[in-house]
Structure 1
Amino acid sequence: MDDLNNIKLPDNIDSLTANAISRGEKYKKKKTVYRKVLTTSLSICLVLTLGMTSFGASAKVMDFAGNVFEELKEIVGLRGGNEATKAINETVIDNKVSLTLQEVLCDEYGVYVSFVVRSEKPFSNTKDTQLLLYDDYAKVSFNNVNLDNGGKAGIEGKFIDKNTFIGVESYLFKDLKGEVPKNFDLDINIGAIALNTVHDNNIVRGNWKFSVPVSLNGEGVKVITPSIKHNNISIRKVTLSKLNTFMEIEMPSGLKEQEVSLFTDKGVEIDGISTEINESNSKALIKKRFKGIPDDTDSLIINFGAKGNIEVNIK
């Protein structure tokens, strides 16, 4: 205790004590502020990360994990299985809309492409079976001519939820000259996608570009030349491709507006897609394109209204 009594205290002990307390309070305040800043920064970082992954990651890991061609087999009229398809799985995102090119299928008549479309903004009408595309162009590496989309303005398919559409687009070779090589590249450029309406405020503009390898596979394609004539109407050729049924029908020019519908022997009506009419020497050559036919079809019934039916055996 004597030693403690001999300790000399500074004369300004009171002011030093006050300063020490003040420094302690300032340190505590700084530490509190630092913790608040750190917590806020981490929160912002977490929000940004979640914001980026909420759409970005989902665009790469699609909600739809199935095969588009197989899922839409009956809707698009795919003949046979999808064994001949080539997997691509390439995704392009622009203006909060992701477009994934899943697979390509090719025969002598065209390239058929399956897509998965996801939009951060919900689609306006999920009951439609077509998603409109604008500025939709496709070219092949062996020719500089734009491919024909077959009379359709978009992707045919269905919605699987309010933000996701799956569908198939056809690009036909009808305007190309020469043979289609075994292997080539397909370039697709899409400039706008409608959120299921034609109103401008629901059209998303962007730049969705793809360049993908394609292999020709004509397995299963069948050409029939029945030479059947009925009431001055002749069936010159029937072609069964992967996703289409093409018909060439000759009739007098006066009958060129004759309605033509197509049924299978099982009573299934095949939807028509497009019609071309070429006239020469008082005769009209009608080129009709229908969807593909079911696998269990044995014959096709071509209906000409009051002019009757013509049945074509395809087996």
Structure 2
Amino acid sequence: GGKIMSKFDDIKIPDNIDEVTKNAIRRGKTKKHQYKKVTKVAASIAVISTLTITTTFAVEYIIDYFNHNKQSLYLSDKNDFEKTSNNINLTVKDKGIEFTIDNISIDDNYITVFHTSKTDKNINKIDKDAYLDNLIISTYMDGERIEESSGIIEHEATYISENELKGIQKIDVSSVDIDNNDEIVFRVNEIFGIEGNWVISTKIDKSKAIDSTYNYNVNKDYTINQTYNYNNEKIDIKHNINVEKVIISPLSNTIRINEKPTKVFKDWTPMLGNSFALFDDKNNSLDVLDKGGSGVNTKTGIASNSYEFLKVDKDTKSLTLVPISFAHSVENKELEPQSIGNLPIVFETSEYGKIVIEDIKITDTEIKYTYYKDGVVPGYLTLWFYDEEGDEIDISSSIKESLDRHTGRYTTILKLEGYENDISKIRKIKKVSTFSHSDMKLLCNQQIKIDLKE
């Protein structure tokens, strides 16, 4: 198989992340991914007083970012961002670099920060990609860092000129209750490869999201029994979980689950994590997104995670959570290669679901495909490529995935440039395949019904 360099070009995984997440991220991926690590963020916020903050007011403010980044992975979220947006326009300067928070979009699940960085130096073209990666914002409330439940930090950026960068970062705030006028502190400690202190504090206004946010406090405890294979022996595990709340909001839908592991091995903590399917009251499968999760909090002994899911709205009366078990005795097989000239391509990945590829475009510089899930299909779609005779064609690439949260359409872009691919071979691609999820079983006898009552 070919090498894929990174899962999203813009994913970071913190050092302190639990094995559970690392395994969740590895699970189902048979190709090698490399992740960059994030530098740990110092917790001191005492430096705010030393920074000058300048404010400018724009009469009418539209999110400018999308005018500059027409290739944004978040284009389909643009309207939701604009509906929930607050103009911030605060600038802080350190080490000759100006950092501005232009505006933020906020609901009960996410704060999405739109920001600009400027320097008077010419940024070297060579280092551009590294700089796009390096600007990471951490968020504080009442002096405490806001715990994000996913190990994955979603962000992207785009160059405006040789000395200006605009970017966005999604910050998961589902773990805290932010009220209007609460003070939030945003902190960055590296821009353009230069370490410094850029801290901006602002009061939060969520009023634009309130009308279309539905917060359901469930707070119920459940037990799920699963059997695992560990060192060639069968181990029965009781998962004690608490379904804390469900939030249906403009920027995403999440279910928050607290889990206390009942057994811990030296190299493995068995947890349910995001190994579950969700169905609505009409029995439609709701895509559960695979973003990993954070492990057990050392203070509380509990792993608290908000799992994002799609295809639900304010009229949904209840959810049904069905645990998924993965049988180690069953092999996942490669499915029969299908011709790319014959769309849509349907792959039945298991008895519970299929992948439908609606579009696939192959050029000398990239391979781009769009698909949706019909039924229960965990994770992202990885494709293998073949010529007319059915011989596999190796490709090396970086990979970007974007998602239209309204339609449930996933788009994957494999960038082929810079990886010494043989273009004449790329042009011979005629068929694709993926692997099955035959090892997956839905534990329907242990399903949990969650009533959505405000």
Normalised TM-score (structure 1): 0.52
Q: Structure 2 regions of 5+ residues with no counterpart?
A: 1-55, 227-237, 278-284, 314-318, 329-440
> Do the aligned partners of 1:132 and 1:153 also contact (CA within 8 Å) in 2?
no
Q: Structure 1 regions of 5+ residues with no counterpart?
A: 1-55, 175-179, 196-201
Partner of 1:184: 181
How many residues of Structure 1 are paired with residues of Structure 2 in the alignment? 230
Query: Which amino acid counterpart does residue 106 of structure 2 have in structure 1?
Result: L
Partner of 1:240: 246
The CA deviation string for residues 125-160 of structure 1, in whole angstroms up to 9 with x for no partner, is: 279777424xx4523xxxx44242426799622223
Partner of 1:160: 158
Give 1:288 deviation, angstroms. 3.7
Pair 1:248–1:125, CA change in 2 (3 A) = same
> Do the aligned partners of 1:192 and 1:207 also contact (CA within 8 Å) in 2?
yes
Partner of 1:169: 171
SS of aligned partner of 1:100: strand
Normalised TM-score (structure 2): 0.39
1:219 pairs, out of 206, 213, 219, with 213
Instruction: Compute the RMSD of aligned alpha carbons.
Output: 4.8
Partner of 1:261: 274
The CA deviation string for residues 56-76 of structure 1, in whole angstroms up to 9 with x for no partner, is: 9xxx998525699x973889x
Output the CA distance in 1 between the equivalents of 2:68 and 2:301.
38
Give 1:270 deviation, angstroms. 2.3
Equivalent positions of 1:1-315 (< 5 A) are: 64-65=65-66, 72=74, 81=80, 85-94=84-93, 95-107=96-108, 112-120=111-119, 121=123, 124-125=128-129, 131-133=135-137, 136=138, 138-139=140-141, 144-150=142-148, 156-161=154-159, 163-171=165-173, 174=176, 182-195=179-192, 202-215=193-206, 217=210, 219-224=213-218, 225=220, 227=222, 229-231=224-226, 232-241=238-247, 242=249, 243=252, 244-250=254-260, 252-254=262-264, 257-259=269-271, 260-262=273-275, 264=277, 265=285, 269-276=289-296, 286-296=302-312, 300-306=321-327, 309-310=442-443, 311-312=447-448
Output the CA distance in 2 between the equivalents of 1:155 and 1:233.
27
The CA deviation string for residues 89-110 of structure 1, in whole angstroms up to 9 with x for no partner, is: 3131523343224124243xx7
Structure index of larger Rg: 1
> Do the aligned partners of 2:287 and 2:309 also contact (CA within 8 Å) in 1?
no
Output the CA distance in 1 between the equivalents of 2:261 and 2:188.
41
Give 1:293 deviation, angstroms. 1.5
Query: Which amino acid counterpart does residue 99 of structure 1 have in structure 2?
Result: T
Give 1:274 deviation, angstroms. 1.1
Say which is worse superposed, 119-128 or 87-96, in terms of deviation. 119-128
Query: Which amino acid counterpart does residue 261 of structure 1 have in structure 2?
Result: N
SS of aligned partner of 1:292: strand
Give 1:210 deviation, angstroms. 2.8
The CA deviation string for residues 244-286 of structure 1, in whole angstroms up to 9 with x for no partner, is: 432123553257701533455356542123122579xxxx974
Pair 1:62–1:261, CA change in 2 (3 A) = closer
Pair 1:294–1:203, CA change in 2 (3 A) = farther
Say which is worse superposed, 302-311 or 203-212, in terms of deviation. 302-311
Give 1:294 deviation, angstroms. 1.5
Output the CA distance in 1 between the equivalents of 2:205 and 2:62.
24
Give 1:212 deviation, angstroms. 2.3
Give 1:300 deviation, angstroms. 4.7
Partner of 1:34: none
